[in-house]
Amino acid sequence: MWFTNYVKNNKEQQMKTRKIRGHKRRWKQIEDWKNTNLNLDLKYLTKYERDYTKIRVHPWSGLSLINSSYPEPKGQTKQKILNGLFDIYDEWKNKLEEFGKPYYLKIWLYDNRFSMSQVVCAVGNYIDFYDNTFNKTENREQIDFGNYESNIRNRIELFNWESHLDEDHFDNTDLGKPDDYETIEVYLESKIWFEKLMKKPHKTVKHKEPIGDTLESYLFEKGKVWIGEI
């Protein structure tokens, strides 16, 4: 079950952080990832009404930060990825304008978990699908441009950004029952981890009506997500 993997991967994350070597090779992968995703497939979009592109660059590809013991991109590597996200956004925007229908197109820019950033679009029945993906911050905040080179800063400033919360979500059903696990030992390990987790600062949302067996949800803040569009 996903919760067992989550516990396992969080334990692995607490191990010594690996160093990332071969930055020039990463930069080539960033360029390849960008070029692969520049073209928005309108046939696919027409059929499924939504599409997105995540950062598919080793060692950050495929798994979110919680499944990784590598540090987040920084320096020139981070700025090259940012440029890639902006280039993809620009190309997708041009395609969607030609498409001639109302659309949702935004960059989800994570601060602490930058490798989870992505470009997301939707049309038709899904145009409002992502509006409630993130909770907004209590106060309207301004994105900090200070850590970026001037060319990146200029591109960031073209966007209208809204501050949202990057949160991990759990609920009262996630731990499950002993029968849901391969062994009782795995269940007890997950139970201990979950009990420790619940002692950390979090928000509890009690549902007015149960969603299946879910009575309440637990939100753990990890940072912010900046939702941007031009």
Residue with tokens 């925007």: 93
E strand residue ranges, 11-150: 50-54, 103-110, 118-123
Q: Where are the domains of the chain?
A: 13-166+223-229
pLDDT at position 208 is: 84
pLDDT at position 131 is: 93
pLDDT at position 207 is: 87
pTM to 2 decimal places: 0.82
Contacts of 10 (CB under 8 A, 6+ apart): 66, 193
Tokens of 10: 């969080």
pLDDT at position 5 is: 62
**How far from each other are the two terminal CA atoms of the chain, in whole angstroms?**
40
pLDDT at position 66 is: 44
pLDDT at position 8 is: 61
CA–CA dist 224, 83 (Å, integer): 20
pLDDT at position 52 is: 97
Q: Which residues of the chain, if any, have pLDDT below 70?
A: 1-23, 61-69, 146-147
pLDDT at position 7 is: 64
pLDDT at position 24 is: 79
CA–CA dist 216, 173 (Å, integer): 9
pLDDT at position 13 is: 55
pLDDT at position 63 is: 44
